[in-house]
Each structure stands twice: as C-alpha cells, then as structure tokens.
C-alpha cells in the first residue's frame, strides 16, 4: 500500500474512532457532512475510473474507496423516496440499482480471480468485506434479497461454488439474521 493510501486509510480510521468515542461517551453525534446526493452510482463511477488504471496506486485507491463505501452503507440504504419528486426518486432508484448490479458483478469477478499480487490481496480483502456486509446495497429491494437467498439455498451446499457465491450467501444470511 502506498503512503498516500495509508494516509487515507488512517484518516478514515481516525474519523471512525472519533465517532465511536463520541457515541460511547454519551455525547450526541452531530453530522457535519451533508450526504445529500450520495449514491452508489457516484461510488461506482469513481471506482471504475480507478479500475481502468492498473497501477499499484490505483489498486490501493480502490481498496480505500471500498472502505469508504463500507462506512457509507447506512447512508446508501436510506429511503430513496426522500427525493423531492416521485420522478426523481424513481430515477435515483433505477440508477442506484444499475450501479449496484454492475459493482456487485465486478466485485465478484475480483474475489473469484486467481491473482495473488500484494496490492490485489489487499483489494480482495476489502472486496470480501464489502460483499459480506453489502447485502442491503447489492440487493436493494427486500423481495430481491429474499429471492436471491432462496435461490442460493437450493445449491449452496455443493462444493463447486466460487468464493463470491459463498460470500453472497453469508451476507444475505447475516442481513436477514440482523434485520428480520
């Protein structure tokens, strides 16, 4: 990992630790950031630009961006109907769903790849974490999550599954265990 990627990671860890300390001390956490307009399409567009460049720095930046994405999961799963108009809400939902599908497919390809270079190991770890914790993001509709889980129940016990299928299954199980 490059120095700039480490600095970015350290910044995120510091911000997270500060947030946890405030929460544990009983102080109300007041967000100083406006997350209006933050959506998965924005993350996917930025990530795909980084992915187009095979340099080690860009691979490290992809890993840091996935860490940021994981930190923003709760903001990305908020109700899209909060948009000012119904038409805007539908457009946002459609764009986010398409971005979720594209990002999910890409992350599955990364985790299923055989490449073992050092930067890719770090990226694969963040991809694994993102897939494990991202059921609500990658399957944004309750019905879709349920359908995916039931479809996977029929054949997940077979030994010939790619790592991404196992991660998706674990993610969906964890999601339903914690929320329903």
Report whether 78 contacts 22 (CB < 8 A): no
Q: Which two tokens stand for residue 175?
A: 């999601």
Closest C-alpha to 129, from 70, 175, 74, 173: 70
Largest Cα span, the chain? 50
Asked if residues 2 and 61 have their Cβ atoms less than 8 Å apart, the reply is no
Q: What is the mean pLDDT of the chain?
A: 77
Q: How far is CA 173 from the centre of its chain?
A: 16
Residue pair 172/148 in contact (Cβ under 8 Å)? The answer is yes
CA distance 164 to 25: 39
- Segment 56-75, tens digit of pLDDT: 999 999 999 999 999 988 88
Q: Per residue in 145-167, pLDDT tens? A: 888 877 777 776 666 778 888 88
Q: Where are the alpha helices (DSSP H) in the chain?
A: 3-24, 40-51, 56-71, 73-76, 86-112, 118-133, 135-138, 142-153, 163-179
Which segment of 22-31, 75-84, 89-98, 169-178 scores lowest on mean pLDDT?
22-31
Q: Are 111 and 66 in contact (CB under 8 A)?
A: no
pTM of the model: 0.68
pLDDT tens digits, one per residue of 68-113: 999 988 888 755 444 455 555 555 677 778 998 999 999 999 998 8
∠ CA 35-36-40, nearest 5°, is: 75
Q: Answer yes or no: are the C-beta atoms of 76 and 39 closer than 8 Å.
A: yes
């Amino acid at each position: 990992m490059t120095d700039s990627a480490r600095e970015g990671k350290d910044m995120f860890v510091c911000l997270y630790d500060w947030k946890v300390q405030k929460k544990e001390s009983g102080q109300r956490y007041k967000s100083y950031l406006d997350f209006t307009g933050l959506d998965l399409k924005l993350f996917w567009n930025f990530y795909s630009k980084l992915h187009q460049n095979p340099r080690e720095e860009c691979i490290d930046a992809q890993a840091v961006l996935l860490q940021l994405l994981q930190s923003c999961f709760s903001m990305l799963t908020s109700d899209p109907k909060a948009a000012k108009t119904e038409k805007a809400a539908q457009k946002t939902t459609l764009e986010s769903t398409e971005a979720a599908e594209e990002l999910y497919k890409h992350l599955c390809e990364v985790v299923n790849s055989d490449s073992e270079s050092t930067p890719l190991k770090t990226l694969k770890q963040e991809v694994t974490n993102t897939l494990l914790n991202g059921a609500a993001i990658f399957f944004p509709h309750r019905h879709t999550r349920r359908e995916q889980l039931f479809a996977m129940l029929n054949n997940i016990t077979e030994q010939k599954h790619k790592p991404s299928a196992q991660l998706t299954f674990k993610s969906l199980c964890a999601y339903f265990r914690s929320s329903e």
